[in-house]
Amino acid sequence: MDRPLKKKKWTVKKIIGLSLILIFVFFIVYTFIFGDSSSKLNVELDRITISTVTQGEFQEFIPIIGNVMPIVTVYLDAIEGGRVEEKFLEAGALVKKGDNILRFGNTDLLLNIMWREAEFFEQSNNLRNTRLLMEQSRLSLMGQLNQLDFQIKTQKRVYERQKELADKNLVALQEYEQAKDQYDYYLKQKELAVESYKQDSLFRHIQIEQLQSSLNRMQANLDVVKQKLESLTLHAPISGLLTSLNAEIGESKRPGERLGQIDVLDSFKVRAGIDEYYIARVEVGRTGSGDLSGEPYSLVVKKIYPEVREGRFEVDLYFVGGTPIGIRRGQTLHIRLNLGDLKEAILLTKGGFYQRTGGQWVYVLDKSEGFAYKRKIRIGQQNTQVYEILEGLEPGEKVITSSYDNFGDKDKLILK
């Protein structure tokens, strides 16, 4: 007799199906809890630039452009001005100190000199006349004093005789008193004459000093005017190259007008413009370097012009160790100006990533170099080639340094 078979609840097919469902659910849960939920982007390797972080010597510098110019330039200005009557030299000529360059004509200056000379001669004549009058007055007073001395001497004898006779009652008292009064009168007259002589001498002395002082001032003024007359001929103040001369015969020039310049060609300097952002960091003594026709040269900042024009200020740099061979006036030089001392640092090559991140983070490759992920960093100083890394990177790590504009805000880049 047949027995009915019990239907199995857990068949192999069910077990396999249930296992697959459990595995799928577990995968979903694991992925949700432990999986990588960061945003990703596939990137082709040939479209990016990868740089390796290194450690080495670092020096902050900025690139500047300078123009070569003579170390000494003397400008020629018209001192008095006037009409150009004669040119002795042309621009481009080599001159020696004292050489005549051009000559002006100035009628007003000549008339001024003639008037001052006439005034000087008149004052000189006044001084001579005053001295002559003083001498005549002195002689006249001396004659008066001599006359009074003679009268006093004569009257003294009369007075003394009358006194003796009066003492013996041999003469009338009236005659004695008359002789005495006459004698006293002459003595008083002498005192007045002496005082008058002193006062007159003092007055004449002061008058002569004033006239002499005035004459000296007029002489000094006349000398200055005559020097102006000499300045109508323009002389070379130094030896060098007459680089420019802006004057033509018959042309009128105003006093102080720029006529040209003379350059000393024995040595050169470089004048460069620098962005005002660096004005607090550029100091006298800072060094720079560059190459000219494959030959290196060094410079040092000697002078800083603090005036800022259109966002830039200027500095003068002098060559160190000799002027490069073949250098010419007006030549343009590209210079690396050092802003800090040489030091050891972690370095990262400069690239377009900075414009996107501001130097706050970069994409760093993992060890497999299959993907790159974001990492915060801190950048210190920089130059035209590298950044100084203060935090976030270690030597040997690889970083994407090209532009991040096409990556959006992705957390991870899959490299293919």
- pLDDT for res 53: 93
Outline which parts of the chain fall under CATH 1.20.120.
108-230
Please state which of the four CATH numbers 3.30.200.20, 2.40.420.20, 2.60.40.10, 1.10.260.40 is assigned to the domain occupying 38-58+343-415. 2.40.420.20
CATH class of 62-67+267-338: mainly beta
Full DSSP string of 238-278? SSEEEEEE---TT-EE-TT-EEEEEEEEEEEEEEEEEEGGG
Q: What CATH architecture applies to the domain 72-104+232-253?
A: Beta Barrel (2.40)
Alpha-carbon gap, residue 378 to 361, rounded angstroms: 8
- pLDDT for res 120: 74
Single pTM value for the model: 0.52
- pLDDT for res 1: 45
Residue 90, by phi and psi: left (phi above 0), alpha (psi -120 to 50) or beta? beta
Angle (nearest 5°) at CA 113 between 108 and 119: 125
Query: Which token pair is 362?
Result: 């970069």
CATH assignment, 108-230: 1.20.120
Outline which parts of the chain fall under CATH 2.40.420.20.
38-58+343-415
3-state SS class at 132: helix
Alpha-carbon gap, residue 233 to 109, rounded angstroms: 13
Give strand ranges (E) for 29-166.
Answer: 40-43, 50-52, 54-58, 61-77, 82-87, 94-95, 100-105
Full DSSP string of 136-182? HHHHHHHHHHHHHHHHHHHHHHHHHHHHHHHHTT-S-HHHHHHHHHH
- pLDDT for res 341: 79
Per-residue pLDDT 10s for the chain (416 aa) are: 455 555 555 566 667 767 777 776 666 655 544 445 557 888 888 889 999 999 998 888 889 999 998 888 889 998 887 888 889 988 888 899 989 998 888 777 777 777 777 777 777 777 777 777 777 777 877 788 888 888 888 888 887 887 777 777 777 778 878 888 888 888 888 888 888 778 877 877 787 777 777 777 777 777 777 777 777 888 898 888 898 898 888 888 888 888 889 988 888 899 999 999 889 889 999 999 888 888 889 999 999 999 999 999 999 999 998 788 888 888 899 999 988 778 899 999 999 999 889 889 999 999 888 889 999 999 988 888 899 999 999 999 999 999 998 888 888 888 88
